[in-house]
Structure 1
Amino acid sequence: MSATIPDREATDLALGLAVRAPSVHNTQPWRWRSADSGVQLFADTGRQLIVTDPSLRSLVVSCGAVLHHMRAALAALGWASTVDYCPDPHDPDHLATIQTTRRPPTDADIELAAAILLRRTDRRHYLPKPIPARYLRSLAAQVSARGAAVRQVPDTLLPRLAVPMQHAVAAHATDRLYQEEIARWSGRDRFTDGVPSRNAPAARPAGEIPVRTFADPALLDPANQPDAAKWLVVGTTRDDRRAQLRAGEATSALLLTATELGLATSVQTEPLGVPDARQEIRTGLLHDCAYPQSMVRVGWSSRGSAPLADTPRRPIDEILEV
């Protein structure tokens, strides 16, 4: 009888790729359990960002991203998967169970898993080089295939996007607890989680759309012109945990597909943790038809940009229970 559950070696290999998924402040707020019913994903609420993410929304979206990364890794190792979302009504932290069956990997499976190794969060400026329309259609197709929707913000509406982002930055600039939380989760002493100085550029010049600023930024940004990133807003028609998980999966698929296409990406969520700013984005850009769950900057990195270092990751033994 052929196995229907990956053994420990395969699970460790898959998790080694999965944990490279992006997460809010690189908190990696997930736990995994290998059981007879399948590989189970749990929220690690002990790693919640109380000020940045009081509702746990970004934590759940982050878990959705690692869920998609895990499925992509399993597929490349020869395991097709299905997901039972939020399977235990008595345990809200049990977010998903992955059930697997043997299936030879396709070329597309292997290429997607390879993109996991290549993807980096690039917070630097992007070049004013057009992105082919077919690339943007490919990204949108990946999002819609996972039950979410995406809107590219037209250049004419970028000022409308800038307003809630500026509101969030202004609110956080005077919030002592937020500043203390950022200091705990970024800087020069991050070795297993958080955002290290080497991955964080300095704050944007006045007049540009701001992005989140971390402690002790040390990443050189060679761009000598305004940021030419395209902005994509990923949203869902509902705002429950299942929808947030699917948004995380959709965001992961978008990022990996963009990486395959040679594009640079960076997830930006600062205004989505500020209720008024999030509502501004929902109304002003999504016309109250969807709840914004993540925002992605996408574009071309500068030829003068140095390669980005890996961000740190928690050891597998710390997040996996067998």
Structure 2
Amino acid sequence: MDDFKLDEYVYFKFSIIDNFKNYNSVKSFPKYEGKFKNITSGSANLYRRQCNLIISACIGDLNFYNTCSSIAAFIEHLQNEVDTIEKSKKCNFLNYKINGEVRKLKNGSYNNVGFYNKFINEYKNNSYDLKFTCKKNIGYLIEDIFKKIEDLYNIYTRYYSFLLPSSSSAVSKCNDITHSVDLYNQHKGTCENDINKDFCAALDKFRNDYMSIIGQVTTKCPKAEVSLQSYIKATDYAVYVLQEEEDDENKEQEESEERVSLGDRGISVEIGEKGRSRNAMLPDSVALEGSHEMGNSKSTMTIAFSSMLVLSSASFLMYKVKKEFI
């Protein structure tokens, strides 16, 4: 906690981390990167007045102008997004994007909650209310969290590059998957304690994804690793399953409330079905993402309830209490 002030820690703990808590949305970031480029293409001249005001109030660096315009264009896109789950993931992506672009300015005075609050408020003053659109998904990411998200992003970027058809050489493809595995292996030490459980659970999902295509990997890249060490303790699987079930229930409730809200305005939208049907438009390797996660969830559930038999009620309650109050 020495690296940032107490108020920044409180904001981080109860705002950003709650929405990033399993880092699950990061595996979709490479897909959103492409969408971001398409949505914001040609936006440079559309937000000249707004971005001049935002930049003069916060940054004073005209090199940020194109980024400012792109952020405004993507916020407009999010304002029209009716799929609440997809919107939440896109907001997480935008937050990572904003934090990354601000870091490129290499100004240490921007690395704090106060600057981001001012930055977000200037967008609100110019009709682009990030807090309203993205709820708690927008704000300053401390360096440790940003780096973890960045590593997951790079892991999946290279993973999808290996999977998707392209004109890249076999050597290039093997370099992609090797880079993903190397990044994964670098976090063995990160996951040796109980501090980074949510991040390590996201890493373990990549391990599952990797092992699901191991035949394809070893055929193309004979020197590739044939197995990856799991960073999740067997006794923790039960907790993660319960968390995922709770998250699914919350998401279903959000969708139900959104349907009611839209229905009150005379609009009929089946958000859940609409959100799921989009996978049919994606390349096979990406479209399989949802079904693969479902398969992993089922197999994980089986392991989980077996593990729960050996967990005492006392230890489980102690873990839950610890998680709530740390």
Q: TM-score, normalised by structure 1?
A: 0.25
Q: Say which one has the larger Rg.
A: 2
Q: Which structure is higher in strand share? A: 1
Q: Which structure is higher in helix share? A: 2
Q: TM-score, normalised by structure 2?
A: 0.24
